[in-house]
Amino acid sequence: MLKPQVHQSHQSLKPLVPLSKPFLRGNFHAFRALQSSSSIKNIPKIRIGISPSVNIKAITTFTQKSTQVKAFVTIKPSVGGLVSGFVDDVKDMFGKSLLLELVSAELDPKTGAEKPTIKGFAHRAGEDKDGHIIYESKFEVPPSFGEVGAILVENEHHKEMYLNDIVLDGPRNGPVNITCGSWVQSKHVNKQKRIFFTNKSYLPSQTPNGLTRLRAEELLNLRGDGQGERKTHDRIYDYDVYNDLGVPDFCSELARPVLGGKEHPYPRRCRTGRPPCETDPASESRTLINYVPRDEAFSEIKQLQFSAKTLYSVLHGLVPSLETAIIDTDLGFPYFTTIDKLFNEGVNVPMPETFKEKALWRTILPRLVKGIEDTGKEVLRFETPETMDRDKFFWFRDEEFGRQTLAGLNPYSIRLVTEWPLRSTLDPEIYGPPESAITKELIEKEIGGIMTVEEAIKQKKLFILDYHDLLLPYVEKVRELKGTTLYGSRTLFFSYPSGTLRPLAIELTRPPMDGKPQWKQVFTPSWHSTECWLWRLAKAHVLAHDSGYHQLVSHWLRTHCCTEPYIIATNRQLSAMHPINRLLQPHFRYTMEINALAREALVNAGGIIESTFSPGKYSMELSSVAYDKHWRFDHEALPKDLISRGMAVEDPSAPRGIKLTIEDYPFAKDGLDLWDALKQWVTDFVNHYYPNPSSVESDEELRSWWTEIRTVGHADKKDEPWWPVLKTPEDLIDIITTIAWVASGHHAAVNFGQYTFGGYFPNRPTVARTKMPIEDPSDEDWKLFLEKPEDVLLQCFPSQIQATTVMAILDTLSSHSPDEEYLGKQMEQAWGDDPVIKAAFERFSGRLKELEGIIDERNANENLKNRTGAGMVPYELMKPFSEPGVTGQGVPYSISI
């Protein structure tokens, strides 16, 4: 078992000399103690300047009275330059732009009070090789000052500064790293001095007495008082319901219910404090900026905001241009060849008139926006998805339909059938007879009489996509909307010995409505043309249901939305010096900003989701129903999720104590390996700081954190009995691994394959615009179906504006930015400063590199029919690392796009 790091104070000073190899970040040289018995007064003074290449070397001057300490502050330049105006330039010239105060980790033993801080102004010293600005300061530190535990920073500029890190050279224990990663506001905007703690992690009970007050003060600063409207420079984390999706003051049609509360349970989001709407006081106005805490916002460096900037450009520039180019919003695709033209000819789109904006578009959207030199026009031309590039007819095949439930974009919905007959749990007085129309006889006929339904269930051969009870209550509402329709649906699959799934039957149900009784129909694969085309149309409806569920539940709700309360609680309740805070922070980067952008243009009233997915204006409300009925924290852990769906069983004889129902289930197979590696890393980390159960139970910050997640962040679920208890290190390991998995592996599985599987939209249409031709058909409609079934299918598919909009969004969402932070690839500075944690991380990183090879071997195994075959795209979404772009692989730490 790993032991916690012990922090000791040293009674004697040791001179420092440069190591042969640096171990600090940046260009600074590390130091080590001389093993000489020479007295300090005989050690020569080391003096150094700044070379033109800015390879900054620290100096240490020892006297018997004090130690000279140098601080190197790394600043990332922001858009428009580091400082603004003549006054700031003058301050830099005279070294009065950044005030630093060293804080002792110890109280004065004589008075019991905090020791006076040691102040010093930092002056601009140059730049490093990455273009970061380096500030430098000197301090005379007396021996009685003790260990430096924190630094207070005051920004004398008139503009905010992004502090990357601070390195102190010369303290008695050698170089001290302070990872900041934060915006520091001008003192003219915020008079509070910023507190940055060293990279040593402490549980609350271990906090050095000189830092106790600052630890509590910083948490109070981050919590705020819950009042007023948040400003862009604030760093305040608080909770609110989803009351900012609608715009009732603009149009009554854009009013939306508040999500969060008894009527529509939902996770909480970050509070912005914007004023209420005039026409609906329960809703928050959207006229002002959508606040996120300042440090959650994307960095201004171009590469660091690549994905977000691209998404913003698509949402606010490209999509409006598409709407201008395609005037008829109801216009569908007349032929399948017209769809193909999106990839080889493209769509002419009006572009910005200024050269600067046009160049920006070409830079940000190189995959989408193409320039035609001979005409000077700009076109939106899509890259051919790998699925279509390998097999143009992949979307047409039933076996691919079944395979994608295991190795596609939404591997979270398929479940084992355990009971027969299939029945609805909805009120039959409202929704009609609950019995499914899929009969025992029909199933036995479809599987060729090789076994009975009872035998198939016993042998775990029957599986289902069941969207019947979730969607049926919304059928009548959705059908009142223009350009969309809906059914409740069930799709049944049979598993062959090879592990491949064959779709057997699709049931579509319409509840009693408009004076008509319940309508339900079962469709099966057929050799007859009429039934064959009806089957294809039924598949289009089911795929639209699965696309909506994937985007609204598997993706948005279960990753983006449910993670936001974890982020808020972590910043409010766990100090920046708490080891669990430092473990979780990489899993939270940029998530709140991407969520705010989604509320602004993706999931908002009239946004992309509502205008392109079947549930329309009821999309987010439907995700609330899914949260209410199905979400539970303990089942977000991958093993528990698989067991809850019958896709795995507990088996002590299995390697990890769990056996898959379908052994060749690519997402589950690779995902469990990734889960195991992640859990081992978390285990090593947690056991290092919590060697026994009492250390967990006595951690008041940790208890407050877990309580707040359950009772505030997920307040509508606070009384559920399934919440894990938090008493032992094992409990903490399970909780942390679950949170980290959702942000990394789960999100990667449902996000980065979106263009691969959805870029050719007939494979995953997001909306079914027309009902089945067999449902109450008119003579004219039935005649059209019999004469031109292909036209009927194309009319059912999304319109041109819907399809191209979704394709542009999916291309962007599937893309890795050049600076993506992949799970296990780069070590956090605070982890590297602790040798035990550093070794644990290196083992974790090594396991992930091994997993890359294991997945490659599986994808080359011809016996794994869900991975290999003619024209088949291998399953690589759980491969940890990736190159930039749309690659269909790579698992980032966080939900950053």
3-state secondary structure 346-377: CEECCCCCCHHHHHHHHHHCCCCEEEECCCCE
- How many residues does this entry show for the chain? 897
Q: Are 102 and 94 in contact (CB under 8 A)?
A: no
Residue 248's nearest CA partner among 595, 606, 597 is 606
Residue 794's nearest CA partner among 776, 769, 766, 777 is 769
- Give the Cα separation of 776 and 835 in Å (integer): 71
DSSP 8-class letter at 497: T
Assign 85 to helix, strand or coil.
Answer: coil
Residue 872's nearest CA partner among 339, 343, 388 is 388
- Give the Cα separation of 495 and 401 in Å (integer): 13
Beta bridge partners of 154: 99
Q: Are 470 and 625 in contact (CB under 8 A)?
A: yes
Residues belonging to the active site: 555, 560, 747, 751, 897
- Give the Cα separation of 168 and 138 in Å (integer): 10
Assign 277 to helix, strand or coil.
Answer: coil
Residue ranges of E strands in 478-565: 488-495, 501-510, 519-523
Residue 337, class by beta-carbon neighbours within 10 Å (0-12 exposed, 13-18 middle, 19+ buried)? exposed
| Token pair in block for residue 193 | 């001095």
Residue 470, class by beta-carbon neighbours within 10 Å (0-12 exposed, 13-18 middle, 19+ buried)? buried
Residue 356, class by beta-carbon neighbours within 10 Å (0-12 exposed, 13-18 middle, 19+ buried)? exposed
| Token pair in block for residue 59 | 């100096």
Q: Are 785 and 777 in contact (CB under 8 A)?
A: yes
Q: What share of the chain is helix, strand, coil (3-state, %, to 5)?
A: 40, 15, 45
Residue 218 is inside which H or E element, if any?
helix 212-223
Q: Tell whether the torsion through CA atoms of 333, 336, 339 and 344 is positive or negative.
A: negative
Q: How many CA atoms lie within 13 A of 240 on its CB side?
A: 27
- Parallel, antiparallel, or unpaired: how do β-strands 133-141 and 176-184 relate? unpaired
| Token pair in block for residue 733 | 């390991």
Helical ranges in 766-868 per DSSP H: 779-787, 789-796, 800-813, 829-832, 835-859
The gap between the terminal CA atoms of the chain, to the nearest Å, is 37
What angle do helix axes 562-573 and 212-223 make, rounded to 10 degrees?
140
- Give the Cα separation of 775 and 520 in Å (integer): 9
What angle do helix axes 619-630 and 529-549 make, rounded to 10 degrees?
80
- Give the Cα separation of 109 and 804 in Å (integer): 70
Count other C-beta atoms under 10 Å from residue 434's C-beta: 16
DSSP 8-class letter at 111: T
Beta bridge partners of 461: none
- Give the Cα separation of 762 and 764 in Å (integer): 5
What angle do helix axes 700-708 and 562-573 make, rounded to 10 degrees?
150
Q: Are 764 and 543 in contact (CB under 8 A)?
A: yes
Q: Which residue has the tokens 């020892």?
A: 62
Report which residue type is found at 723.
W
